Amino acid sequence: MPRIIVCLKQSVDVSQLKADPSTGRLVTAGVSRKISDFDKNALEEAIRIKEKNGWELATVTVNFEEVKASIREALAMGADKGFVVLDEALKGSDTWVTSSVLAKAVGKIGEFDLILCGEASIDGFSAQVGPRLGELLKIPVITYARKINITQKTVQVERVLEDQYETVEANLPALVTVTKEINEPRIPSLMAIMKASKKEILTWKLADIEVSAEEVGESGSGVRIRDVTVPQVGRKKIRIEGETAAEIAEKLVKELVKEGVVGK
């Protein structure tokens, strides 16, 4: 049976992030985790391909902290099986390491026809892991898909770029990254959630995929994070008030002329 693999990242829910008022540092501890938004679009697309063509669908996730609840959600949505590489040594890994570990995990999962990833993750937004993974697996890479068509041997994709759409085609197996506009991810029914509890989640340590601790984390990475700070926006926040819209408009235009952004 042909197989699709979807790479799922568990990221912090960025809408819940706050700065610690005393230090100005970002607080990520205690913030809830979820499947990164675009990865969910990738999963939804994979489920649709599976439903249409009868393919098998596995997810793969790499992390240094617990991800089970996220994978359960993916299984409830429609994935058949979840593979997780979970190892504390992975902390501090960059996209180069993450994609290398994913490549090893995919190698262990076995044959596949299509890999789907989100265009980027909602926290880091680097858009690197998909293309890097495709490169490591030496298969065609197609990024920024808003439409995917599968035939027996090929994948046809409509890409969204800054100022144009591009229709491209490649032979399978291939890796495609998807945009948010490709679909609306489903919300699993209670029934599906119950059924999913019987589906299998396989968890590997690094040793199980023959990766050593030195190859991951900061020691294996090409980039290390030095500091994370909260940006300061120094805005004036002047409220322009008035009895009528005309009065407000008059005051605003005066200010804009003073700022030198309007007028000669």
Ligand X SMILES: Cc1cc2nc3c(=O)[nH]c(=O)nc-3n(C[C@H](O)[C@H](O)[C@H](O)COP(=O)(O)OP(=O)(O)OC[C@H]3O[C@@H](n4cnc5c(N)ncnc54)[C@H](O)[C@@H]3O)c2cc1C
Instruction: Tell me, residue by residue from 3 to 22, as one string, x for binding to other proteins by CB under 8 A and - for no binding.
Output: ---------x-xx-x-x---
Gyration radius of the chain over CA positions: 23
Alpha-carbon distance values, 256 to 50, 234, 242, 244, 263 (Å): 56, 17, 17, 19, 8
Q: Does residue 101 bind other proteins (CB under 8 A)?
A: no
- The residue (of 194 and 248) whose beta carbon lies closer to other proteins is 248
**Other Cβ atoms closer than 10 A to 19:** 14
Q: Which does 12 bind (CB under 5 to 8 A by kind): ligand X, other proteins, none?
A: other proteins
- Least Cα distance to 150 among 174, 185, 131 occurs for 174
Rounded distance between C-alpha atoms, residue 160 and residue 144, angstroms: 6
Instruction: Tell me, residue by residue from 206 to 225, as one string, x for binding to other proteins by CB under 8 A and - for no binding.
Output: ------------x--xxxxx
**Local structure of residue 123 (DSSP, 8 states):** T
Rounded distance between C-alpha atoms, residue 179 and residue 185, angstroms: 12
Min CB(37)–ligand X separation in Å: 4
Among 51-59, 74-82, 119-127, 193-201, which window interacts with other proteins (CB under 8 A)?
Answer: 119-127
Q: Does residue 37 bind ligand X (CB under 6 A)?
A: yes
Instruction: Tell me, residue by residue from 144 to 183, as one string, x for binding to other proteins by CB under 8 A and - for no binding.
Output: x-----------x---xxxxxxxxxxxx--x----xxx--
Q: List contacts with ligand X (CB under 6 A).
A: 37, 122
